[in-house]
Amino acid sequence: MATLSSKLLTLGRYLAGEFENRAQSLAEPAWYVHLKVWHRPIRLFHENSLTFFVEQVSVASGQPPYRQRILRLYESDSQIKGQYYGLKNAAQFRGGAIAPQILAPLTPEDLVELPTCCLSIESQELPEGQYSFKAALPAGSLCSFEYAGNTSYVSLGFAIGPASNAATLELRVYDKGIEPSTGKGLWGALMGPFCLIKNADFEGGQP
Burial of 20 (0-12, 13-18, 19+ CB in 10 A): buried
Which of 71, 67, 50 lies closest to 58 in space, CA to CA? 67
Within a domain: 134: yes
- Identify the domain containing residue 139 by its residue range: 6-201
In this prediction, residue 2 carries a pLDDT of 62
Contacts 24+ apart (CB under 8 A), 104-107: 106/42, 106/44, 106/53, 107/44
Within a domain: 1: no
Per the model's pLDDT, the better-predicted residue between 127 and 84 turns out to be 84
pLDDT category at 146 given cuts 50, 70, 90 is confident
Query: Taking the model in full, what pTM does it have?
Result: 0.93
Handedness of CA 25, 142, 88, 187 (dihedral sign): positive
Domains in the chain, number: 1
Within a domain: 166: yes
pLDDT category at 108 given cuts 50, 70, 90 is very high
Residue 21: CATH number of its domain: 2.40.128.590
Within a domain: 206: no
Q: Is the pLDDT of residue 1 over 70?
A: no
Q: Is the pLDDT of residue 207 over 90?
A: no
Within a domain: 75: yes
Within a domain: 54: yes
What does DSSP assign to residue 9? H
Within a domain: 15: yes
